[in-house]
């Protein structure tokens, strides 16, 4: 069994209603331990499989939850609902309510980090601590590649095969060092239907800079770890340095020799540094 199929076998599903739309949200949920649980949130164009080498390591000591955002992975992909960061914030809030989670430590990568900072401002009681990794913050996004994926002309003409080829190349080019085939194949596997290709385009066009420029970053009181790959051209370490100045309780923790996919590039170091943060 391929690693991504094994991950799917371990997922559960819940139905949430957001802005009148019923959405199936797939999620990994294992472990039982002292509160708060740890919520791992992926970005675009990944899914919860991003955390396969990180999240399960913590399930022996605490509850660990890793959802697929709406429009990604095994969650609903049908056309006709909002997939913006603002909408994903509502999806995660509804999922946590469904799972009986009052508060959590949120570990967010890419737009998952953007969702995390919104929750930390808008629902501060929900977020006990925050870990941001190469997150979409301020006006650092969307990047040209993602915008192009969301253009109607792209969505209408891109085949499943072309989508897989485009994304496979993108994943390989942005991994730091030799790409892991399990990562590339696992990430591409979610986009293997025509519905999924449209969903990817809708996810891409929903990237809205305003949803992270409107945030009052100075109001984020949660203790925050900025576990950030230093070799990322799109969400650069300078953004983490700015966050370290703007957030009252933030600690900058650069991860050397890691690019945008820092949980994949340096999974062992990532686990160790996250464990130290959680233990503290």
List, for residues 53-66, the tens digit of each pLDDT value: 999 999 999 999 99
Calpha distance 138→242 (Å, rounded): 10
Calpha distance 53→169 (Å, rounded): 22
| Run of H or E including 129 | strand 127-133
Calpha distance 141→119 (Å, rounded): 19
Task: Kindly report whether the peptide bond that precedes residue 45 is cis, defined as omega within 30 degrees of 0.
Answer: yes
Calpha distance 258→163 (Å, rounded): 26
| Run of H or E including 119 | helix 111-122
Residues counted in the chain: 280
List, for residues 193-228, the tens digit of each pLDDT value: 999 999 999 999 999 999 999 999 999 999 999 999
Q: Given this model, what pLDDT does residue 34 score?
A: 81
Give the residue among 93, 170, 134, 155 at the shortest CA–CA distance from 243.
Answer: 134
List the chain pLDDT tens, one digit each, 280 residues. Answer: 899 999 999 999 999 999 999 999 999 999 998 889 999 999 999 999 999 999 999 999 999 999 999 999 999 999 999 999 999 999 999 999 999 999 999 999 999 999 999 999 999 999 999 999 999 999 999 999 999 999 999 999 999 999 999 999 999 988 987 768 899 999 999 999 999 999 999 999 999 999 999 999 999 999 999 999 999 999 999 999 999 999 999 999 999 999 999 999 999 999 999 999 999 8
CB-based contacts of 218: which residues, under 8 Å, 6+ apart? Answer: 246, 247, 248
Would the pTM count as exceeding 0.85? yes
Domains of the chain plus CATH, in order, are: 3-141+209-279 (3.40.50.1820)
């Amino acid at each position: 069994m391929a690693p991504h199929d094994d991950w799917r076998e371990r997922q559960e599903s819940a139905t949430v209603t957001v802005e009148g739309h019923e959405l199936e949200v797939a999620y990994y949920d294992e472990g039982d331990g002292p509160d708060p649980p740890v919520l791992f949130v992926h970005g675009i164009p990944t899914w919860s499989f991003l955390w396969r080498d990180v999240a399960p390591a913590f399930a022996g000591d605490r509850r660990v939850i890793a959802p697929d955002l709406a429009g990604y992975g095994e969650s609903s992909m049908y056309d006709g609902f909002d997939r913006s960061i603002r909408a994903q914030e509502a999806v995660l809030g509804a999922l946590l309510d469904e799972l009986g989670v009052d508060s959590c430590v949120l570990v967010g990568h890419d737009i998952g980090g953007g969702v995390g900072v919104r929750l930390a401002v808008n629902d501060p009681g929900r977020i006990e601590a925050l870990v941001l990794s190469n997150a979409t913050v301020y006006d650092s996004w969307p990047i040209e590649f993602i915008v192009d994926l969301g253009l109607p002309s792209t969505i209408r003409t891109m085949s499943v095969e072309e989508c897989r080829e485009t994304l496979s190349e993108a994943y390989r080019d942005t991994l730091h060092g030799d790409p892991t085939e399990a990562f590339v194949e696992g990430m591409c596997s979610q986009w293997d239907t025509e519905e999924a290709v449209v969903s990817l385009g809708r996810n891409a066009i929903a990237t809205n800079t305003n949803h992270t420029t409107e945030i009052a970053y100075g109001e984020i009181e949660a203790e925050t770890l900025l576990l950030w790959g230093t070799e990322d051209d799109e969400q650069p370490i300078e953004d983490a340095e700015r966050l370290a100045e703007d957030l009252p309780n933030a600690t900058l923790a650069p991860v050397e020799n890691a690019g945008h996919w820092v949980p994949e590039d340096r999974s062992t170091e990532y686990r160790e540094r996250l464990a130290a943060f959680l233990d503290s």
